[in-house]
Amino acid sequence: MNNNNKKISLLRYWTTRYFITLIIGLIVVAIVSIIWIRHTNLEHRLNVTKYLAQEIADRFVEEQSGETVPREGVLEYIQERQNIIDTQLDPIIYIVDANGRVLSNPFEREPFTSERFPLRILQADSEVQRLKLENGDHSYIVKRPIQAEGVTAGWVVIIQSANQLTQMNEEYRLLAIMLFSLALIGWATIYFLSRKLSKPIQDVAVAAKHVQEQNYNFTLPENMKEQEVHELVHSFKEMSSRLQQLEALRSELLAGVTHELKTPITSMTGLIQAVRDDVVHGEEAKDFLNVSLNEANRMKTMVADLLEFNSLAAHAIPITKEKYEVNKLIKEILHQWQVANDEEGLEINKSLPKEDIYTEVDSIRLQQIMINLLNNAKQAVKRNGILSITIEKERPGWIEINVEDNGPGIREEEKDFIFERFYRGENKKYDTHGLGLGLPFSKMIAQSMEGDLVLKESSPGRTVFTLKLLIEEKR
């Protein structure tokens, strides 16, 4: 498999990348910290060296016979102060007169080969100088004047190796321990957090494989604290539950559709065979042929419905929209339906707005939707029922056409499936013939005209379907 397509786990992905990012960040912090610590340490030790030079100049120099000479105990004092102030300092200390003649060198180390101390160092303006000595070492030289009656009688000069001043073994050790601890804590934190986050996602992935194999027996964690993870798990549960229901419905609906197509074929076969075998004669044979023709027409209608539904789903049937006045159009559709469905005991009421309202629709397709809704309402109430048609402007720019009946209503568990293809409720399975495409087909037509068809309300004694259409402004 190509390495570019190789997949890695979410836990490994995040922990690896976070750890690399953490290490890079800690390296940057370490470099900056070392630079800052070296600079701070150097400044601190130079200040300590200045303080030591000043104390030597103030306390351990006296004049005798007009000359500046060192007091006794200089070496002991320097060693004592060195131990108190900073044990890492190992200076070379000179006490020289104004002409550079060395009066005292307590540690008896000579970085310069000449007998006199270089005057260029003593005469420089800066009290701290960084020089390369004759032995090749880089050192810092700190000088403090010895004042006698307001006159500079000599100098205290301290020479300190640059390596010693910037040496930070203990600081490096502490910094390394701190950075290693931060890296370990950071890696452990992201590892456990990523593991906690990836576990439910991994469970969902495993559950998805079960669903792919049509196995819905799985468990997922409950009450996740993370909102996004909780929504993911909850949505997947809802999706798998609905898929399970739809899978059961699909098998049931396929059996229903097969039955609906098989029944007229079986009836036609039996009737035609009876006529062919001279089982019936005369008028009875004609009746058998008429029944067979009706069954053939019914089957033809069902097949046509299937073809038309598939064509509309594939956007193969064009929708031709024109501007119509809603009240007039609905009255014409209702009149045509009443002429074709003149049944006693069926009461039809209508409530239309007084003002003219225009909409842009395909009148033929709108008639299909309305006739389907009216037929469904008629089948629900059977005889002695009431059908109501109302047109309302519920919100700006929209008109709602409500088709209401006083039938038994739609069962609660069936409401989520009434717009599913081939679905027929329990009340229609045995009472009426059809493929269960009426409502899905009508909803698709409504949406193709930039509207919608919804179940507004359903309860025992009242069911309302609402067709929503855009209002076309007058011109």
- Measuring CA to CA, how many Å separate 78 from each of 63, 85, 101, 192, 286? 20, 10, 21, 56, 137
Strand-strand pairing, 462-470 and 102-104: unpaired
CATH 3.30.565.10 fits 322-470, yes or no: yes
Q: What is the mean pLDDT of residues 32-58?
A: 83
pLDDT score recorded for residue 67:
56
Q: What is the pLDDT of residues 113-145, one digit of tens each?
A: 556 778 888 888 888 888 777 666 788 888 888
What torsion, rounded to 10 degrees, do the Cα atoms 260, 263, 268, 269 define?
Answer: 130
Question: How far, in Å, CA of 192 to CA of 212, rounded?
Answer: 30
**Region of poorest pLDDT, from 61-65, 113-117, 330-334, 338-342:** 61-65
Domain ranges in the chain with CATH number 3.30.565.10: 322-470
Q: What is the CA radius of gyration of the chain?
A: 50
For the ranges 30-39, 83-92, 151-160, 420-429, the one whose mean pLDDT is highest: 30-39
pLDDT score recorded for residue 37:
83
Q: What is the pLDDT of residues 276-303, one digit of tens each?
A: 888 878 888 888 888 788 777 767 766 7
For the ranges 12-16, 80-84, 356-360, the one whose mean pLDDT is highest: 356-360
- The pLDDT confidence band at residue 240, using thresholds 50, 70 and 90, is confident
Domain ranges in the chain with CATH number 3.30.450.20: 10-170
Q: What is the mean pLDDT of residues 267-275?
A: 81
Cα 444 vs. chain centroid, distance in angstroms? 32
CATH 3.30.450.20 fits 10-170, yes or no: yes
Question: How far, in Å, CA of 374 to CA of 465, rounded?
Answer: 10
pLDDT score recorded for residue 98:
77
Q: What is the mean pLDDT of residues 199-207?
A: 78
Q: What is the pLDDT of residues 30-40, one digit of tens each?
A: 899 888 888 88
Share of the chain above pLDDT 90, in %: 1
> Are 446 and 369 within 8 A, CB to CB?
yes
Question: How far, in Å, CA of 288 to CA of 286, rounded?
Answer: 5
Q: What is the pLDDT of residues 381-417, one digit of tens each?
A: 876 788 888 988 877 788 888 998 888 888 887 777 7
Domain ranges in the chain with CATH number 1.10.287.130: 222-317
65, amino acid identity: S
- The pLDDT confidence band at residue 1, using thresholds 50, 70 and 90, is very low
> Are 130 and 115 within 8 A, CB to CB?
no
> Are 110 and 81 within 8 A, CB to CB?
no
pLDDT score recorded for residue 263:
63
More confident: 4 or 445: 445
Share of the chain above pLDDT 70, in %: 74
pLDDT at 304 over 80: no
Question: How far, in Å, CA of 472 to CA of 475, rounded?
Answer: 9
pLDDT score recorded for residue 420:
73
pLDDT score recorded for residue 255:
62
pLDDT at 430 over 50: no
For the ranges 292-301, 433-442, 444-453, the one whose mean pLDDT is highest: 444-453
pLDDT score recorded for residue 21:
85
CATH 2.40.110.10 fits 222-317, yes or no: no
Structure tokens at 295: 């069954």
For the ranges 222-226, 316-320, 346-350, the one whose mean pLDDT is highest: 346-350
- DSSP β-bridge partners for residue 143: 157
